[in-house]
Structure 1
Amino acid sequence: MVRTFALVVGIVFLVVGILGFIPGLTTGGGEYLLGIFAVDATHNLIHLLVGALGLAAFYWDRARLYCQVLGVVYLAVGILGFIPALVFGEKLLGIFAVNLADNLLHLVVGAFAAYLGFAPQATGRRISPTH
């Protein structure tokens, strides 16, 4: 499940990162991907990086570590995005574009990644009650 998550997140984030650079798929003065998610060049590059790391984690069997790091970072970014003093002109810490939809998505992805990354691993062995 952890490797599959890394693969799927890797592919999705690569696609989202690419789509963010395609004129016509972003709308409005502040650039909204599909009219919903605030994006800019920095945010798109972050998506490409997260996607590439997801694929690398899948292929190099580091998916659990990927989920742990992604979970912590995305939960932090999602929480920070809700603190008005840290958002300057729709840019979190003045670095990349965020809005409510981004913050909620970051929290969902972060929570799921953290759950997969930090949950005890199933060993596939059954322990008998009398062991």
Structure 2
Amino acid sequence: MTTASPHAGHAHVSRGNVRNAAMTSGIVLFVIGVLGFIPGITMNYGEMAFAGGSEAKLLNVFQVSVLLNIVYLVVGVVGYIMSRTASAAREFLMGAGILYLALWLYGLIVGPAEYGANFLSTNTATNWLNFVLGAVMLALGITYMMRRGDEAHETA
């Protein structure tokens, strides 16, 4: 007699997994936002502007502004709060993934921070960080959404 489920070959995606993914994403985003406000970790801190024209760089790589740091902080807090339920966690992962992919596209379209349309003061490294964050969160959200659909069909 075996105790293995008939779906043992498939990775099990639980409510806890999606909640943990959303919580971890929220914490990572929050930490990025906090680090953007710490002199020494953020180089050229004295040249940080609220929006466009900021010369501050997190880890001397990712160009940041006060507004961009606030976006990271707020989205991080939202992710942490929404990680309380599986459905809200999935929604967060999908929504935040789309948001960060939109920020990546925006950064590609408006160009470097020297241009006036780049009100977030992002550079190429920041744009690609936003791409990675967005792609990972969206992929997690889609994975958990698809797995949830599979579970609904199995119980029907």
TM norm. shorter chain > 0.5: yes
Percent of aligned pairs with the same amino acid = 34
2:61 is aligned with 1:45: no
Counterparts in 2 of 1:99 and 1:20: CA distance versus 1, 3 Å: same
Unaligned runs of 5+ in 1: none
Question: Cα 1:111–1:36, aligned 2, differ >3 Å: closer, same or farther?
Answer: same
For 2:23 and 2:116, the matched residues in 1 are separated by 27
Q: Tell me which residue corresponds to 1:33.
A: 58
TM-align CA RMSD: 2.3
In the other structure, the counterpart of 1:13 is: 29
Q: Greater strand share, 1 or 2?
A: 1
1:77 counterpart = 2:93: no
Structure 2 residue ranges without an equivalent (≥5):
1-16, 48-54
Looking at CA atoms only, which structure, 1 or 2, has the larger radius of gyration?
A: 2
**Cα distance in structure 2, aligned partners of 1:6 and 1:40:** 25
Q: 1:93 to 1:68 in 2, by over 3 A?
A: farther
Distance apart, 1:69 and its partner CA = 0.7
Greater shift after overlay, 96-105 or 117-126? 117-126
**TM superposition score normalised by structure 2:** 0.70
Q: Say whether 1:107 aligns with 2:131.
A: yes
2:23–2:80 Cα contact (<8 Å) kept: yes
How many residues were matched structurally? 125
Which portions of structure 1, spanning 4 or more consecutive aligned residues, are displaced by more than 6 angstroms? Answer: none
| Bigger helix fraction | 2
